[in-house]
Structure 1
Amino acid sequence: MANEAKTEEVFRGILDSLGYYSTNSIIVERQQSDAPKIQKLLRSASKSAKGSGAGYPDFIIRDSSYPQLLIVVECKASATEHESQSRKEYSKYAVDGALLYASFLSKEYDVIAIGVSGESVQELRVSNYLHLQHKDIAHSIFGNDLLSFEDYYKGYIKSDLKYNQDYESLLSYSKELNDLLHGKKIPESIRSLLISAVLIALENEAFTASYKLQKTAKQVTKQIVGSVREVLDSSDIPETKIKNILHAYSFIEINSTLTSDKEFILNLISEIDENINSFIRTHGYFDAIGQFYVEFLRYANSDKGLGIVLTPPHITQLFVELAEVDKDSVVLDSCCGTSGFLISAMRRMIEDAKSDSNKIDDIKSNQLIGIEFQDHIYALATSNMILHGDGKSNIIQGDCFKVNNEIKDKFNPDVALLNPPYRNNTNDPYELNFALNALDMLDKGGKCIIILPMSCSLAQKGDELELKRKLLERHTLDAVLSMPDDLFHNSKVNVSTCVMVFTAQKPHSNHKKTWFGYWKDDGFIKVKNKGRIDLKNNWKDIKSQWLSAFYNKDDVPSSSVKHKITYKDEWCSEAYMQTNYSTLSKLDWIKTIRKFIAYQFTNNIINEVDKSPVIQSPLEIKGINWKEFNAGSLFKLYRGVSSGSVTTTENKEDSGDIIYLRPSNNYSIKNGYISRVEIKDDSIFPSSTLVMGNTGAGSHTWTYLIAEEFIPNNNLTVLIPKQNLNIYQKIFLINIIEHNRYRYAYGRIPSNKRFMDSKLSLPVDADGEPDWGFIENYIKTLPYSSSLSKIT
């Protein structure tokens, strides 16, 4: 007969061998706890079906050195009682019970939940889960072994889950700090400099030990600047650069708030140490200064006008992996901002150096190069590198277009990672100029990875087209990756972007196929007061899939494609990917029919709704032959009338007034009425006509069948089939068109030419022509299709 006591004794013996009982700071409690907070949290944690009363796991383990972390263990004798499929049979299964207790304790702690089953060491089963504080679910972690408390802690503190939790906390603190500094009337433009100065001063042990002992606020601010000076002096930064940096920090000793409010400045230093420094110490190699810089300027106009946005940290890390940076790489960022790319590169290079101190010193001294034009951002960039242990920082203040030869001759970089400033004024350089400039500084065969507005890849004329020509004339375009539309949400910048990957100093071959990736979903979502974060911890798996496809240049349906291009072509996956229509189902067309019928009924175009199909025998679309057709071979396109050229009324004032339509993501497209006498006849379209939105992030490509005479505005494209089609066939086409919506965005709208050149797939007959008969009958087999027969 199974004996749970045996399992507990086996587990206790393993704890003993792992040092749990010989370490004074570790407390192991069995089925109870002396800690009042734990008692309170578990007072209603019963495993019974009624769920009332207190409940305790078989073991509760804590270490006074790490008070935020608990380990809870539940044991079962039989391996068949290890873990249920639902993980909700709390009293019967080991894992389920451990997770239940973790869910209660996670209100105040980070909890490692361990399920153990088996009556001997040989048959023991172990499952480890991590349930972070204030999170809804636990995640499997650490494999299936029991570890020492120290190893559990190291794995927990360095896990992606903990990083995401701490990053969310850092984002929240950045907003709190911004509000605090705003309340103290500290200007946005100097807030990041203040933070960076405090962080550098905290690198000085004498400052850390004595700043709280100063008698006045003026003494504290003077000590901050003096400590920054000492840290800079101990680096290899030239004296001229040190003077420039100290000049940027000079406001600290004269700002009225900082020099008069001792309690405020002392609390500020303490909070920065607790919230920012602790994050850097724990997770390392993170552009915290850049994160705060962006937060402080989110509501200011100064740097947004300069086109400066912070590259999200998961993207700077992705760039490093795309470029396959290693310990021997020489990495350049020619418009480095706060040094986010260089910090991510440093992390990877030092990891690859595997504790070789000489190599690590060489990496920091000679293999990381940044160029920054603006004085205050240069100070932030240099400070950031110093905070990450690069006291010999090669951050050069200057114009990347003027120091390029110096950089190439002195450093011979072979990797460039950059996010150039976006062009806002006619006198600003084009973004592609930065790509060309960086590539020209790289050694032959070097890799340049640059994130740019999508418009750069689409350029069809003027200076940008000429830059595309020069790029391919000198360098090879290996890949272009379409990025999430809201990637820069945290910087309050709404721009569609792509990443271009080049090989330097090798002209693009006419035979070369460029790899295009559709990387629109990185798993990040927007959360109120936290910005865009990896809330569901999906990024790790998504990144792995992306990198695998990129390294192998896989053709993945609806995700990537290889295609030969010239400088005249669009450089994006949306132009070349084949749409996967197999994901369309009957439910999609039924939904389209219902939306159309609902609009007609609501607007009194029809008086009743018939839910029945016209044809009772079902038809299946699976297994039918499909073929691609140019949209231009199927439709004639017409644009509507601009709102500024007509007078509209809110209501129908005369029987001859005609409805005026605008784009939308549903059938709420009415935009008033226009008198028939005011408009030309060729701007009026008959009922049963298809229209498609041609602009707007939320409305482009959505397609509607209009069942009354109408006038479209110029943000709608009228689609007139070249063949005489009935209402059933047009309903079918709506889903085909909308299924290609992914091809378009605010930066790549479905213009007439772009849509006409696109491919649409349709079921075909034996001659390879659209099988309109099948298409009609398929719609007729669907619910509500009888209502369509009432509309002409």
Structure 2
Amino acid sequence: MAKKEPKTDLWVADQLKDCGIRFDAQGSDVKEIDEALKTASKRGTGRVGYPEYTAVIGDFVIVIEDKASIDRQIKMTDSGILDTSVNAVMDYAVNGAYFYAKHIAQHTPFKKVFAIGVSGDEKHHVITPVWVDDREGYKMLPDIESFISFSKQNIGEYYTRYVLNEATDVEKTTEQILKDAAQLHEYLRTYGTLKDQDKPLVVAGILLALDEIEFGGFSLGSLTGDQVDGNRDGDKLMNAIRTRLTRSNVGPDAKKDKLLAEFSILQTSFRLNEVNDTLAKTPLKFYTEFLYEHVFRNIKYQKTSEDFIGRFYGEFMSYSGGDGQTLGIILTPRHICDLMCDLVDVQPNDTVLDPTCGTAGFLIAAMHRMLTAADTDAQKRNIKKKQLHGYELQSNMFAVAAANMILRKDGNSNLECCDFLKMNPAQVQLKGATVGLMRDRIPCRIVATARLRVVETLVFQRFAWCIRGR
């Protein structure tokens, strides 16, 4: 019978190449592994059996099996353990990869082995890694978006974080991140002479650009301080941001244009793009390197409801001589966001709306809770794509919120920059929100009107309104 996965095979191979992972197809150039595979038949006959791909990366081995249909990603037994029957090993990607990985771990000197099952295609796919030991043990690991975690530069950190469950050198507490924020605030003031409202936009924009590294759409080395129009550091960052928004399916075009307009200070600021004599590089490159080392890698791997960009925002405002309220900014602490989600008992099948979302703290807390309780990958994808909605009046806050959600792979980021109080109630109701989360960030003189408007506009099953003290 002809193999049904040629397109999936080619897509996986391309992804491995993009991540700089050297691999072998249908066997291995490593003698010990190749010898072991000569007795690795999935049918248990003791004859030859070859996985789709193998790769040796330092002390680690990764074994990949793929299937064309997402329905063939993984099969568990009724007891909730990985099915190791012949049919399951033959027909499912994760089960097949686990079979080969265990065989390699048991019959070669390599004891640090990852089995990776892949199904689907370029547009719709699932990638599930499993840690395998040389006995009968294994550890299911979170699904991943790409193979970048298994590159030579990242695999050690990935192993430490997800297999050993230990903090890595780049994993920090919120307290440490806030210390970094204080330092970055000083750098932004000293080298960029930025206005308070522009600082978080610079941070959010750079983080979006950094998120393109894993796709090959941006690199730190590309920031050279070139002063030719169209090739300046700010131009390169904006190109990466534009690509990141497209990759996240941010639309319609008017929304994308609004976000790009907010981040355009990266291009328009002469000071940010000029090579600084003290730094011997542009402030933009200096900020980008700082954010990559001190913040980005933490946010990238962090599975928490903490609103890191929001915390940055608050820290910037506090160092500017206030708590941000002069700019209409009142940031909700994480524990309050989590409490509100607990009070209304947010569930994976809910649709959540925050009419005044700020930096999206409530939505991030809700998303974290929903994803943790979700049963299937399809349900998780639906949560990110369709079940989180927010409105924000201030365009700079809207841009920070959108970046905050996109960095957490929320799909198309269902946020709108508009005045909720002026929305057509019927149009808002089309979102089908079952849970409302809101903090009183509205000036006192119109609070009563705003609350009445919420009641008139939406009929939530459950609603939590956090009112700040006066």
Aligned counterparts of 2:225 and 2:190: Cα–Cα separation in 1: 24
Q: Partner letter of residue 202 of structure 2?
A: L
| 1:200 aligned onto 2:201 | no
Q: Which runs of 5+ in 2 are unaligned?
A: 1-56, 61-111, 113-158, 276-280
- Alpha carbons of structure 1 residues 213 and 174: separation in structure 2 relative to 1, 3 Å: closer
Q: Secondary structure at the match of 1:411?
A: coil
1:526-537 matches, cutoff 5 A: none
Matches within 5 A, 1:19-58: none
The answer (yes or no) to whether the contact 1:415–1:442 under 8 Å persists in 2 is: no
CA distance in structure 1 between the aligned counterparts of 2:233 and 2:160, rounded to whole angstroms: 38
Higher helix fraction (1 or 2)? 2
Decide which of 249, 261, 266 is 1:247's aligned counterpart: 261
Letter aligned with residue 275 of structure 1: H
Does the 8 A contact of 2:225 with 2:274 survive in 1? no
Counterparts of 1:215 and 1:256 in 2: how far apart (Å)? Answer: 12
Select 1:265's aligned residue among 263, 268, 284: 284
Taking a change above 3 Å as real, the CA distance of residues 342 and 232 of structure 1, as seen in their structure-2 partners, is: same
**Distance (whole Å) between structure 1 residues aligned to residue 314 and residue 420 of structure 2:** 23
Instruction: Give, in whole Å, the separation in 2 of the partners of 1:343 and 1:152.
Output: 22
Aligned to 2:125: none
Residue in 2 that maps onto 1:282: 301
Seen in structure 2, the aligned counterparts of structure 1 residues 191 and 214 have a Cα distance that, compared at 3 Å, is same
Offset of residue 403 of structure 1: 1.7
Whether 1:429 aligns to 2:446 is yes
**Among 381, 384, 399, which residue is 1:364 paired with?**
384
Could you say which structure has the greater relative contact order, defined with CA pairs below 8 angstroms and 6 or more residues apart?
2
Work out whether residues 439 and 467 of structure 2, in 8 Å CA contact, stay in contact via their aligned partners in 1: yes
Change beyond 3 A, Cα 1:404–1:334:
farther
1:311 paired residue number? 332
Given that residues 439 and 468 in structure 2 are in contact (C-alpha distance below 8 angstroms), is that contact kept between their aligned partners in structure 1? no
Question: Counterpart amino acid of 1:195?
Answer: V
- Mapping 1:45-444, distance limit 5 Å: 154-157=164-167, 166-184=173-191, 185-205=193-213, 206-209=216-219, 211-212=221-222, 214-216=224-226, 219-234=232-247, 235-261=249-275, 262-284=281-303, 285-298=305-318, 299=320, 303-354=324-375, 356-403=376-423, 405-423=425-443, 428-430=445-447, 432-443=448-459
Q: Say whether 1:447 aligns with 2:462.
A: yes
Higher strand share: 1
Cα offset, 1:212, TM superposition: 3.8
Determine the structure 1 residue equivalent to 2:147: none
> SS in structure 1 opposite 2:430?
helix
Are the counterparts in 2 of residues 338 and 378 from structure 1 also a CA contact under 8 Å? yes
The offset of 1:408, in angstroms, is: 3.8
Q: Percent identity?
A: 25
Distance 1:314 1:326 in 2: 18
**SS of residue matched to 2:416:** strand
> Deviation of residue 245 (structure 1)?
0.9
Query: Residue type of the partner of 1:340?
Result: G
Which digits, 9 at most, give the CA deviation of each residue in 1:368-413, with x for residues without a partner? 1101011111111111111111231111111111225145431121
Q: CA deviation at 1:211?
A: 4.0
Residues 461-497 of structure 1 deviation map (CA, whole Å, 9 limit, x = unaligned): xxxxxxxxxxxxxxxxxxxxxxxxxxxxxxxxxx5xx
Q: Distance in 2 between matches of 1:290 and 1:419?
A: 14
The CA distance in 1 between the partners of 2:347 and 2:359, in whole Å, is 22
In 1: Cα distance, 2:203 partner to 2:161 partner:
33
**TM alignment of 1:487-526, pairs within 5 A:** 495=470
User: 3-state DSSP class of the match of 2:309?
Assistant: helix
One-letter identity of the residue aligned with 1:221: G
Structure with greater Cα Rg: 1
Could you tell me how far apart the structure 2 residues matched to 1:273 and 1:179 are?
A: 17
Amino acid at match of 2:284: I
Give the aligned residue type for 2:205: A
TM-score by length of 2: 0.59
Deviation at 1:25, TM superposition (A): 6.2
C-alpha displacement of 1:303: 4.6
* One-letter code aligned to 1:216: D
Alpha-carbon distance in structure 1 between the residues aligned to 2:306 and 2:176 = 14
RMSD: 2.9
| Whole-angstrom distance in 1 between the partners of 2:385 and 2:424 | 19
